[in-house]
Amino acid sequence: MGPARHPRQGGRVITEWLGSFFAMLDAVPVWQLYTVVGVLLVLETTVLIGLVTPGEVVLLSAATTVGSAGEYAALAAVAAGASLAGQTGGYLLGRRFGGRIRASWAGRKIGEPHWVRAEAVLRGGTGRAVVGSRFLAVAHSLVPVLAGTLRMPLRRYARYTALGALVWGLVYVGLGSAASLAIRHSAHLLGPTVTGVAVVVVAVALAVGAVRKRRRRPTGEPVDGGAGGVPIVVGTGGGDPSGGGSPEAPERR
């Protein structure tokens, strides 16, 4: 049997991996990184690639390289502009091809419940629903197609979509940069924290599984106590209290 691995080694592995990840992103030229982010965000909602690679993951990863207010504003602008372009492209595809996208093989693989959810957002008829749809998983890739299919006015759609894209870009770039700053300055605490959270999650999962198993266990059969199964007849009137005669039997002379 090999030597036991000290818990600190697991934390060191996580810290080293994050350090390598940050170093790799930092080594990419800014214009190349922003170009890749912009292209992926355009494709996310135009050809539904966001169902495979969500734009949030791409943007949060790129935001870890932000180190100044100028870089924050630049990346947020790229994210907002690319998102608006992609959602507009999805709208035009939906307006051109209508329900054929939904009825296609790819549309069926997405699943009807996701289409219904995205359609419910648009049926609400409010601008806040369109703005908020950018933050909804899966739905944000389907809403543009459905908006075009339902012939939502382009000006109205573009106005609220632009607002949603701007807010989305600012929020996610801010989250990514803040998380990166915290991790870079507290990397030595990340490993123990992740290990502790993992232990707690496993313990809770085991406890919940044990409780559910106990609840599903069939209850035992009732114990036969002999007299417990004999019915007791309660009589009225002049019947024999010992149970020897029926209280309803007529008196014989």
Residue 242 lies in a domain: no
Q: Which residue has the higher pLDDT, 31 or 197?
A: 31
pLDDT for the residue 191: 55
Q: Residue 26 domain-assigned? A: yes
Comparing 131 with 209, the larger pLDDT belongs to: 131
For 192-231, how does the pLDDT look when each residue is reduced to its tens digit (9 = 90+)? 555 566 667 777 778 777 777 776 665 554 544 444 445 5
For the residues 108-112, what does the mean pLDDT come to?
Answer: 76
Domain that holds residue 27: 18-187
pLDDT band (50, 70, 90) for residue 234? very low
Domain tally, the chain: 1
Q: Do residues 245 and 239 touch, judged by C-beta distance below 8 A?
A: yes
- 14-23, 24-33, 131-140: which has the minimum mean pLDDT? 14-23
Look at residue 117 and tell me if it is in a domain. Answer: yes
pLDDT the model gives residue 103: 76
pLDDT of residue 171 exceeding 50: yes
Mean pLDDT, the chain, rounded, equals 75
- Average pLDDT rounded to a whole number, residues 6-25: 65
Domain contains 63: yes
Q: Is residue 138 part of a domain?
A: yes
Residue 240 has pLDDT above 70, yes or no: no
So what's the pLDDT on residue 70? 92
Residue 235 lies in a domain: no
- Using 50, 70 and 90 to split pLDDT, how confident is the model at 85? very high
Average pLDDT over residues 179-193: 64
Q: Is residue 145 included in any domain, yes or no? A: yes
Answer whether residue 67 is part of any domain: yes
